[in-house]
Structure 1
Amino acid sequence: MNLYTFGKVLVKAALKPLYRFEVIGLEKFPKEGGILLCSNHIHALDPPVVGMTAPRTVHFMAKEELFKNPVLGPILPKVNAFPVKRGMSDREALRSALKILKNGEVMGLFPEGTRSTDGVLKKGLSGAGFFALRGDADVVPCAIIGPYKTFRKVKVVYGDPIDMGPFRERKASADEVTEVIMERIQTILDEYKENK
């Protein structure tokens, strides 16, 4: 058992007694090929929750500061995280992300760039569209629906993959593709939120 798989088991063991997870749409998740997995971001637990529920191994960008943490720093690379400097001008991180996608693997991204404090989906950063267009991969939208309150339900909903082929053919902009991704995430949020 590698460290990623072991970490997944540990996260499940730690979180399942605290929250009632409902995972929806796993059958929509492509079994192979490069995937850019784009989710909303409402809590610090979102990355491990996405990693725990996704049917394939997910690589994540993590802010560079976390790799300097004496506890987390040595663990993060072993669970497929790689550092990114704040902002989208980190060429090494861009190359790492594109390599993951072009190798037919899954890269997880939170296009808002930071957590939403009120749970409302914020505007996505153009980096999501950039990776979607350049990464030779389709996009899987994901919505995490909380709140993360003890013994309450947390839904993780995976939506239909977004085929990037037509966007690449007509040379769509990164901003336009990011908007499409965010609209899909919002659609899932609207469909599955608790009060419906």
Structure 2
Amino acid sequence: MADELVVGPFPAGFRKFWLPLGRMVAGALLVLLGPVKVRGAYRVPKEGGVLILANHIADMDPILVQYACGRPVHFMAKSELFDLPVIGRLMRFFGAFAVKRGEPDRKALKFSADLLKTGEAVGIFPEGQISEDGELQELKPGVALIARMAGTPVICVGISGSQRMMPYGKTIPRPAFRTVTLVWGEPRTFGKETSAEEFLAWVQGQFLTLVED
């Protein structure tokens, strides 16, 4: 697999044309699959680097988070997806970058921090994989390192109900027939002295508060 860590800041043309177009297309799709309700989006910093953390219960989650966020987001995604001809090309175009799972990928962690330092928004699912039963899984400690390296605000978003749009193991979305919600928490900045345990405890507490039953 070729080196995928070549994504830079989103160009102005992407922000002015492709992002609004993508949000419009996603919005039309989500009208059919939803309804989708977003709460607290005003809490997302409009400028400067911000690390976005979300729970992960369906393959639709990156689309939902980008739809719920008013600025373009670079998503960290498993490296295997970039080998798929169509999906890989789309992911690169929309600013995603690869991480190798099953091992500490320091290159991807540093790349995430570098993007944040340039003022970009980076989205990560700290569980590292989709939850089969919708329950929150163990959080990977790498996100704590990124937060300490970058020194930018961190904000969590709790996703509820997206597994009804795309159940675990399925590849084709379907109507949820119930409201899918995304709830944004309050941003917080962590210093280099913050321990991984303290950071992960905060993230877990955020998800337990933001994810609805």
In the superposition, the TM-score normalised over structure 2's length comes to 0.81
Deviation at 1:17, TM superposition (A): 1.4
The answer for the alignment partner of 1:161 in structure 2 is 187
Is the contact made by 2:159 and 2:180 (CA closer than 8 Å) also made in structure 1?
A: yes
CA distance in 2, matches of 1:182, 1:136: 19
The one-character-per-residue Cα deviations of 1:32-84 (angstroms, maximum 9, x if unpaired) are: 12111011111110011101111111110111111110111222111010111
CA distance in 2, matches of 1:92, 1:122: 24
2:110 to 85, 89, 95: 95
CA distance in 1, matches of 2:77, 2:23: 17
2:164 matched to 1:148? Answer: yes
Provide the secondary structure at the position in 1 that maps to 2:164.
Answer: coil
CA distance in 1, matches of 2:20, 2:124: 20
Which residue identity is paired with 2:156?
Answer: P
CA distance in 2, matches of 1:16, 1:96: 35
Mapping for residues 48-59 of structure 1, pairs under 5 Å? 48-59=63-74
CA distance in 2, matches of 1:11, 1:22: 14
CA distance in 2, matches of 1:61, 1:33: 18
Is the contact made by 2:109 and 2:142 (CA closer than 8 Å) also made in structure 1?
A: no
The answer for the alignment partner of 2:204 in structure 1 is 182
CA distance in 2, matches of 1:4, 1:96: 22
Deviation at 1:89, TM superposition (A): 2.4
Segments of 5+ residues of structure 2 without an aligned counterpart are: 1-12, 166-174
Deviation at 1:4, TM superposition (A): 4.1
Deviation at 1:88, TM superposition (A): 4.9
Deviation at 1:90, TM superposition (A): 2.3
- CA RMSD of the aligned region, Å? 1.7
CA distance in 1, matches of 2:83, 2:19: 20
CA distance in 1, matches of 2:164, 2:70: 22
Deviation at 1:128, TM superposition (A): 1.4
Matched pairs, number: 187
